Amino acid sequence: MTTYEGLIGAADDTELFIRKDLPEKAKAVFVFVHGLCEHSGRYEYVAQKFNQFGYGVYRYDNRGHGKSGGDRGYIDNFLRFVDDADVVVNLAKKDNPGLPLFILGHSMGGLIAACYGVKYGHKLAGQVLSGALVIELPSMAELKKVDFDALRGVKSPNSLARLICRDEAVVNDYEKDPLVLKETELKLLGEIGIRGPAWLARNIKDYACPCLIVHGGADRIVIPEAAKWLYENISSQDKQLKFYEGLFHEILNEKERGTVIGDIHSWVEKRL
């Protein structure tokens, strides 16, 4: 196993924290894209399981999150997240020539991954989209009424903790994690909650990646209808939708995560 942690420069020279975990003789490579307020370190267990499957894993912190540069909890344009993902994908492809490359995106990371599939899908063997924030949610209705572009510096508290998972230990770890953002700017919420889904809706027919869409049936952050909309509107010939009844938003952290990870493993193996 080869492990590396460091910083790489995005297109505008913002530094992105990245970690590589590469098993010897990997047969596929994954890039993980995390969700709003969290960071790549919360995917340690998933990365370890993927390594056991023979998959190399590249994790990075989105700008403004975790150990990456950029203003905390802020983005001027959601497409910067998509282009940052491309920097990591290009690095992974350079490091692992000839290996099939997949993206695993969760929540906001699922939106980033889906938009990536529209812009750069030809670079990928497929995507796994978990709890993907791909539609405008009812919770964003009030934000849509304000000019969030003019509200630079106005912040909103992170109130997601009790909604992410049924496992109390996961919730407690999330609340105590110093790298989990305690607040975000309204501008970021507007970009990823309103403008991002609107852009995706306009371009969704250009998404043709092989994809596995997974979602918690009791998700109280991103409603399950988001997964249904994605499945029904993409142009992919190879697509699968799976709900996990009773599970909250972070299906990869629920106690049933072994089943979810096993399903992802089976899906990937059939495409290698």
Query: Domains in the chain, start-ordered, CATH in brackets?
Result: 2-269 (3.40.50.1820)
34 as an active site residue: the answer is no
Q: What is the pLDDT of residue 46?
A: 98
What Cα–Cα distance (Å) separates residue 197 from each residue in 26, 120, 176, 177?
34, 17, 30, 28
> Residue 188 class from Cβ within 10 Å (0-12 exposed, 13-18 middle, 19+ buried)?
buried
Q: Which of 158, 192, 153 is nearest to 177 (CA)?
A: 158
Q: What is the pLDDT of residue 126?
A: 98
What residues contact 176, with CB distance under 8 A and at least 6 apart?
none
Considering 65, 106, 215, 249, which one is annotated as catalytic? 249
DSSP line for 251-265: TTTSTTHHHHHHHHH
Considering 68, 107, 130, 236, which one is annotated as catalytic? 107
Query: pTM (2 decimals)?
Result: 0.98
Q: What is the pLDDT of residue 168?
A: 97
139 as an active site residue: the answer is no
219 as an active site residue: the answer is yes
Longest distance between any two alpha carbons in the chain, whole Å = 52
Q: What is the pLDDT of residue 205?
A: 98
Q: What is the pLDDT of residue 131?
A: 98
Considering 61, 130, 219, 236, which one is annotated as catalytic? 219
- Stretches where the chain sits below pLDDT 70 are none
